[in-house]
A = this chain, B = another copy of it.
Amino acid sequence: MKVNEIGEIGLINRFSKILRSEYLGDDCAVLDLGEDYLVVTIDMLHRITDFPYEMTPYDIGWMSVAVSLSDVASMGAKPTGVVAAVGLPGDTEVEFAEGIISGMSECARSYGTEIIGGDTDQHAELTIVTTALGRVDKDKVKLRSKAKVGDLLCVTGYVGTPAAGYKVIIEERAVPEDDKKLLSKYFFKPMPRVEEGIKLSKYPFVTSMIDMSDGLGKSIYELSTASDVGFLVDADSLPLRPETIRLAKDRKELLEMAICFGGEFELLFTVSPDKIDDISDVAFTIIGKVVEEGLTLDDKGKRSEIVCKGYEHLRKKRNDVH
């Protein structure tokens, strides 16, 4: 069997059996430093699936660091360093390469950290791998595995914006110029929720957290698997930008964009219902609740199974709707 037949989840399951490591299963591995935890993540991005030619080198560098910082954010950790391996085609202009490094550096610095090391290599396809490190108090780390039945499901910011950006920029769907401007901004320069993650880590009643880089649907799936629970999502509660709503052809497409699309940089988390009003310093939206089993979408009383598992890197291209 080939890896593109088994898919990413199948492959990861097989790899996990070989690795037999207690560290696997969250957005970051967690290492005990004694006083606190070190979290560490690694992400591979490359030209064909992650860097459309509409992106500037600066955007490419920014995006590469942002994806790793988003993983650190999802653990409630404070970033403490990023290392990056950059594989460049030999005929890349030096200025282009410098643009990538500038974007990487500025993204890291925007979040209070920096690029502390790296490796450069010649590679047929532009390939960037980043590792972000972070630290978090032991009693504050957030995992995927602690969601409880009855908890409320919450998300920072909006969902569906990367999908809308993809449709405007890559598929060239016609929208008002102002909408295009805004959607491009979020598509090319995503802002990982580092501050929000750190703030949410302080609340012991935030029971689980995950970033949404693979989309809402897959993130819910991951939470459900790790916590052995189900989710009921209320379609009408999904926070959508007006630009996203205007762009969608119909409600079906709108919900697909909101649920089955990768590239989101928001945090998805669960909260004990009796304490949720105590979260005073983070803007978020309640989009559903934790139930015994199943991944269900309630759209004005009509219920359906959330079947998309979000982006499967080994099967489809990034940002494909599926």
Contact = CB atoms under 8 A, between A and B. Distances in A.
Interface of A: 1-4, 6, 8, 11-12, 14-15, 18-21, 23-24, 28-29, 31, 33-35, 38, 40-44, 46, 48-49, 80-81, 83-94, 97-98, 101-102, 105, 114-125, 127, 129, 131, 133, 313-315
Nearest to A85: B44
B90 A19 contact: no
A125 B84 CA distance: 19
A278 to B, nearest CB: 31
A123 to B, nearest CB: 6
B42 A117 contact: yes
User: Chain A at the B interface: mostly helix, strand, loop or mixed?
Assistant: mixed
Contact of A88 (B3, B43, B101, B133): B3
10 contacts: A4-B122, A14-B98, A19-B115, A23-B81, A42-B83, A42-B85, A44-B123, A83-B131, A120-B314, A123-B127
B116 A85 contact: no
- Copies, count: 2
Nearest to A9: B120
B115 A313 contact: no
A29 B28 CA distance: 19
B94 A127 contact: no
A15 B129 contact: no
Contacts of A313: 120-122
Nearest to A44: B85
A177 to B, nearest CB: 33
Contact of A129 (B1, B85, B88): B85
Contacts of A1: 93-94
Contact of A19 (B35, B92, B114, B314): B114
A114 B2 contact: no
Contacts of A94: 1-3, 6, 11, 14
